[in-house]
Structure 1
Amino acid sequence: MAARSIRSGTVALVTGALVLTAAACSNPGGGAAGASGPRDSAVVGIAYEPETLSPLLGYGKDGNSKIFDGLLAFDADMRLRPALAVSLPRISADGLTYTYRLRKGVKFSDGQPFSAKDVVFTYRTVLDPKTNNASRTELDALKDVKAVGDDTVVFTLAYPYAPFAERTVLAIAPEHVAGKQDVNTGSFTTRPIGTGPYLLTGWSKGEKLTFRANPGYWGGAPAVKKFTMAVIKDDDVRATRLRAGDLDGAILPPNLAAGFAHDKGRKTYAAKTYDYRTVTLPTHNPVAGDTAIRRALDIAVDRRAMVDKILEGAGKPAYGPVPTGSEWFAEGTERTHDLAGAKQLLDAAGWKPGPDGVRVRNGVRAAFPLWYLSGDKLRQDHALAYASDAKKAGIEITTQAGTWEVIEPRMKQDAVLAGGGSPGDPDFDQYLLLKSSLGGDGFNNMAWYDDKAVDKALDDGRRTNDKAKRKAAYDTVQRRLVQNPGYTFLTHIDHLYVVNDRWDTTPGGLTTQVEPHDHGLAAGPWWNVESWRPKQ
């Protein structure tokens, strides 16, 4: 979701995988990049690029930004660990005050010192309504943030918000640079300065982002001295360039990753995720907005077939934003494939089969368009399978490909094959997706979903630290999605990465984290590329 925008990721860290150096683009087997390049450089292929590199506009809000650091960070097991803070926060007994002691001696890449004022500046700017940050409501609980000297920051909350510490992986921006320019349009959005392990050396939009190791990084200078994220939107091209030696690694859909299974020089890494594919059913569409249509589609779809045939088993059926197996999943909300039941729901609601098999009610045909992102084969395959299942129930769905520039203006009326999902706390993957007040807010609540019981449960879930009460609130959300589905959730997808077997990490072996929808740029086996070492 963009802001965890459902479009695909933090305002546009959409489903990830970047693309080559110019030399590699013009000379696909050349030694300028990839496996044949210097031992201390790496090139990885991802599918999309960010719209901004400013933390103030959403970049790095979930960690792993490479250019920046947060107060805290996630380790391989998604446990919080200190980053710019020297330890985890001290939390008051009432859960309303979080105190962080900051690491001393840290400098931004321009040589200026990092201090508490940069933390205060970052959070206050994100919360400023004039800042174009679609994730602002993620910090709704934050009442105030202040510096106590140079090395202490105190956050005061308006209400107890259980996952607040996880929000403090937000990347910190330098006040002395970003504070002197327009937050939305200034040069900092494309030429950032941070405290992270890498410095941005170039951004050729639509082609690549290049980084070099930060020699003064407080965590130690990375062994990978040059890191390139090459933006290759087409899955097939990404696989071809990996095979040609232009890339050290890439994210690939299951069918293409399978082609490297017996390659002794490469390894495949599967990351468990919260990443789902879903169909938005916009309230403003006279067909897709009808509850009977929504409920019928919810059981007409064959999720298991999608997992088996489209994902080749690399995933599982999705019944909502929370994956089965999560402690927050509401047991009993699984929906089985039931075509006969779907037809009964439509019959009862007055949607009767017409002469061409498409149902009609009051002169309105049960038909609507479904858009998916051009070049994204997984979305295309999901869209086609969904339309095929819907047709069997008498609902005509016309699939259409387009860029986000084409799709976004149509989202209020037309369905979209979208993606989203965020691990960690259930507030992260549900509030922006379902809160009615966020309908039409960019890529938040793309379906304009509006359910008062869900709104109340979302507020209840984020306004208490009592885990049992929170579980009850999010159970309510998931059970309401059965009765009033504004989306048809299809699958949760495992991310597959193929990487040249020439890298190791200090603990030994590359790893992946449990990943959000956003992947490739901030996730994948290169989530900790600053810890990589060339194999001896």
Structure 2
Amino acid sequence: MNKKKVTSIVLSCMLVVSAVFTGCGKSEATSTKQASKNGKTLVYGAEFEDEKLNPILLSSHALTNDLIFRGLMRFDENNVAKPEIAESYTISDDKLTYDFKMKKGIKFHDGTEVKAEDVVFTLKSVLDEKVNSEIRPEFNEIKDVQAVNDYEVKITVKKPFPPLLDKLTLGIVPKHALEGKDINNAEFNQKPIGAGPFKFEKLEKDNNLTLTKFKDYYGKTGNIEKLVIKFIADYNVRAMQLQTGEIDLAYLEPSQVSKIEKLDNIKVYKADTADYRCLMYNMRKDIWKDANVRKAFNYALDRKGMVDGILLGYGSEAYSPLQINKFNNADVEKYTYSLDKANSLLDAAGWKKGEDGIRVKDGKKLAFTVTAPKTDEVRVKIAEYFASQFKKIGADVKVDALDWSVIKIDQCDAFVLGWGSPFDADDHTFKLFHSSEIKGGDNYGAYSNAKVDEALQKARTTSDENERKKYYAEFQKELSEDPAFNFAVYLKALYGVNKRVSGIKEKVLGHHGAGFLWNVEEWNIN
């Protein structure tokens, strides 16, 4: 996970035990609890706070993109992109031109109609080098975008680009609200205007975001009139507030499930995901220059032990970033647990065990630090597990559990990363492993492999599905032979939800359970 995308919230009230039961203050907790029981207010205990509420700047899969905004396309219950603000679309025979017809009468929250010029402005802003957009690499195959008229948009691409329809789930912003302004620092980023089912009401930084039902929303809705997103970084506080009724739903840690399941008023959802955890090797560090050293650490990991001991069975062993994708290549090295192979590779690489059991090469010990965010119980336990496992092969590994606010991933020796997407295979692959993403992108470990670059580029710009499958297979094969990550486990997303909430439609979720609220506008509170 990218710390730029989230801000960990430190709850000062945790200094006293009573705060665990009442949140950040008795009056706030009481009022929130009362509001959540009026039958029309839903209170969500969120792990993270989006720094800016503007889809141009943030990941297209950010929570607020689904709540406040709508795009030309939208993912359905099968994670397939279907027309949303678009009424229909056609693709030219050469796969280079996309023509979209838009629905008429769809309104932004300020009452203005969504038109083609807003789509053009949104996409051109993402592509504008002056705009600090995290998602620009996802759209850089776009050659041009034009408004044919008020309700028709023409998008041309440089090469065939099958992931485009997925990318166009990006929320559309109103041109009139941002034109001529510095998008990076616009007031809009804290007071957004979209066309989604909920509109912005107020934001209390480091505390909560309040959204209200948009009465002119064009789609189907339930009876939720207000949605309060409380920013609660501490998983124990989230679980306690779920138990006391101060919040209606929250992401849970595996260790909390058995207790929460015993509560009469809470149902625990255990959703399948494409969400994996791994150890990122920072290629800037000399220790990771040798691929055989990275392979050795991959063999030294008992993944089944992690699934059973850390995830408590709520997950599975990992070996690839596309394991849950239709383009998964199962015919790759899965690094089945083998201390013998790990030790042999390190011996061959010149790392010899000293009298203290720690390996040494050229006078330097095989020592490094694994960093993890302290507000994520699973990641901290994973880091500790890595350290204990790697000690068995002669490595001196320390664990540093830090707050997100002080973590610089690209400076860590190794980091417990979390990624994974249930959408097109381009998502969470190109931006993580292509060398063009080292500077300013999400390739924090500075991984660079010419064969991987070529395979990923061809896979995203090839229209034939069989050809895409071949290129993604090549990508996974090369990645297994020259590891960027030590893939550990896939997680189930565990959500505790008050039983008075109905209408939840489950589907395969993304990173950190992203997507659980995908149809929240249709939910009802009984």
Shorter-chain TM-score range: over 0.9
- C-alpha displacement of 1:489: 1.2
Q: What secondary structure sits across from 1:295 in the alignment?
A: helix
Q: Structure 1 residue 226: deviation in Å?
A: 0.7
CA distance in 2, matches of 1:35, 1:267: 20
TM-score (norm 2): 0.93
What letter is aligned with 1:91? I
Distance 2:61 2:77 in 1: 17
Deviates more, 1:144-153 or 1:54-63: 54-63
Cα distance between partner residues in 2 of 1:530 and 1:242: 21
Instruction: Report the counterpart of residue 106 of structure 2 in structure 1.
Output: 106
Counterpart of 1:529 (choices 492, 500, 520) is 520
CA displacement, residues 162-214 of structure 1 (integer Å, 9 cap, x when unaligned): 12111110100011001132110111111101111111112222221111111
Shift of 1:15: 10
Alignment of 1:279-294 (within 5 A): 279-294=279-294
Distance in 2 of aligned mates of 1:332 and 1:359 = 32
Amino acid at match of 1:7: N
Tell me how far apart the structure 2 counterparts of residues 59 and 113 of structure 1 sit (CA, whole Å).
Answer: 25
Alignment check: 8 A CA contact 2:40 2:226 kept = yes
Q: How does 1:303-322 map to 2 (within 5 A)?
A: 303-322=303-322
Give CA-to-partner distance per residue, 1:274-298, whole Å, 9 cap, x none. Answer: 1111111111111133322211011
Q: 1:426 aligned to 2:425?
A: yes
| 1:7 equivalent in structure 2 | 2
Match of 2:16 in 1: none
The C-alpha deviation readout for 1:451-487, integer Å capped at 9, x for no partner, is 1111111111111011121111111111112211121
Are the structure 2 counterparts of residues 182 and 36 from structure 1 closer, same or farther at C-alpha, using a change threshold of 3 Å?
closer
TM-score (norm 1): 0.91
Secondary structure of the 1:126 match is helix
User: 1:279-358, aligned counterparts within 5 Å?
Assistant: 279-323=279-323, 325-333=324-332, 334-358=334-358
SS in 2 for 1:86: strand
Per the alignment, residue 136 of structure 2 pairs with 136
Cα displacement string for residues 3-50 of structure 1 (whole angstroms, at most 9, x for unaligned residues): xxx427xx515899x999xx9632286253378521011101121111
Give the aligned partner of residue 513 of structure 1: 507
Judge conservation of contact 1:86–1:102 (CA < 8 Å) in 2. yes
Q: Relative to structure 2, which stretch is displaced further, 25-34 or 258-267?
A: 25-34
How far the C-alpha of 1:391 sits from its partner, in A, is: 0.8
On the 8 A contact 1:384/1:399 being kept in 2, the answer is yes
Q: SS of the counterpart of 1:65?
A: helix
SS of aligned partner of 2:387 = helix
SS in 2 for 1:143: strand
> Which residue number corresponds to residue 482 of structure 1?
480
Encode CA deviations 1:354-395: one digit per residue, 9 max, x unaligned.
122111111111111111112211110010001111111111
After superposing the two structures, state which structure 1 stretch, 286-295 or 486-495, moved more.
Answer: 286-295
Alignment of 1:448-487 (within 5 A): 448-487=446-485
Does structure 2 retain, via aligned residues, the 8 Å contact 1:61–1:167? no
Residue pair 2:274, 2:511 contacting (<8 A) in 1 also: yes
Give, as a single letter, the amino acid of the residue that structure 1 aligns with 2:525. Answer: P
Contact 1:7/1:14, CA 8 A, preserved across alignment: no
Whole-angstrom distance in 2 between the partners of 1:83 and 1:468: 28
Q: Which residue of 1 aligns with 2:76?
A: 75
Classify the secondary structure of the residue corresponding to 2:230: strand
Gapped runs of 5+ residues in structure 1?
A: 1-5
Q: Which amino acid aligns with 1:482?
A: S
Tell me if the contact between 1:69 and 1:194 (Cα under 8 Å) persists in the aligned partners. yes
SS at match of 2:86: coil
> Map of 1:11-410 to 2, 5 A cutoff?
12-13=5-6, 25-27=24-26, 30=30, 32-33=32-33, 37-60=37-60, 64-87=65-88, 89-219=89-219, 222-323=222-323, 325-333=324-332, 334-408=334-408
1:254-288 Cα distance to aligned partner (Å, 9 max, x none): 11122122323221112211111111111111113
Distance 2:219 2:226 in 1: 17
Q: Match of 1:33, SS?
A: helix
Q: What SS class does the counterpart of residue 263 from structure 2 fall into?
A: coil
Is the contact made by 1:284 and 1:413 (CA closer than 8 Å) also made in structure 2? no
Per-residue CA distance 1:97-140 (angstroms, 9 max, x = gap):
11111111112111122100000000001001111112211112
| Structural RMSD (CA) | 2.3
CA contact 2:268–2:494 (8 Å) conserved in 1: yes
Q: Per the alignment, do residues 97 and 62 of structure 1 end up closer, same or farther by CA in structure 2, a change over 3 Å counting?
A: farther
Q: Percent identity?
A: 35
Partners in 1 of 2:282 and 2:369 — Cα distance? 11
Distance 1:489 1:257, change over 3 A: same
Over 3 Å counting, the alpha-carbon distance change for 1:309 and 1:52 in structure 2 is same
Partners in 2 of 1:66 and 1:308 — Cα distance? 35
Asked if structure 2 preserves the Cα contact closer than 8 Å seen for 1:197 and 1:214, the reply is yes
Tell me the distance in 2 between the aligned counterparts of 1:154 and 1:33. 48
User: Closer, same or farther in 2 for the Cα pair 1:380/1:58, shift >3 Å?
Assistant: same
Question: Is the 2:421–2:510 Cα contact (8 Å) retained in structure 1?
Answer: yes
Determine if contact 2:203/2:210 at 8 Å carries over to the other structure: yes
* Separation (CA, whole Å) in 2 of partners of 1:424 and 1:54: 21
With over 3 angstroms needed to count, the CA separation of the structure-2 counterparts of 1:418 and 1:141, relative to structure 1, is same
Query: In 2, are the aligned partners of 1:42 and 1:224 still within 8 Å (CA)?
Result: yes
- In structure 2, runs of 5+ residues without a counterpart are 14-18
Alignment check: 8 A CA contact 1:280 1:418 kept: yes
| Rounded Cα–Cα distance in structure 2 between residues aligned with 1:238 and 1:166 | 32
Q: Is the 8 A contact 1:197 1:222 kept in 2?
A: no
The answer on whether the counterparts of 1:270 and 1:497 sit within 8 Å (CA) in structure 2 is: yes
Letter in 1 for 2:234: D
One-letter code aligned to 1:476: E
Provide the secondary structure at the position in 1 that maps to 2:478.
Answer: helix
Cα gap change, 1:148 to 1:102, in 2 (>3 Å): same
CA contact (8 A) 1:35 1:247 kept: no
Alpha-carbon distance in structure 2 between the residues aligned to 1:384 and 1:147: 54
Q: Report deviation, 1:332.
A: 2.5
| Structure 2 contact 68–199 (Cα < 8 Å) conserved | yes
1:467-518 CA distance string (max 9 Å, x none): 121111111111112211121111111110010111222xxxx222322215
Q: For residues 117 and 381 of structure 1, do their structure 2 counterparts lie closer, same or farther at Cα, with a shift above 3 Å needed?
A: same
For residue 496 of structure 1, what is the aligned residue in structure 2?
494
What is the rounded CA distance, in whole Å, between the counterparts of 1:478 and 1:34 in structure 2? Answer: 51
Residue 314 of structure 1 and its aligned partner are, at CA, apart by: 0.9
1:34–1:245 CA contact under 8 A, matched in 2 = no
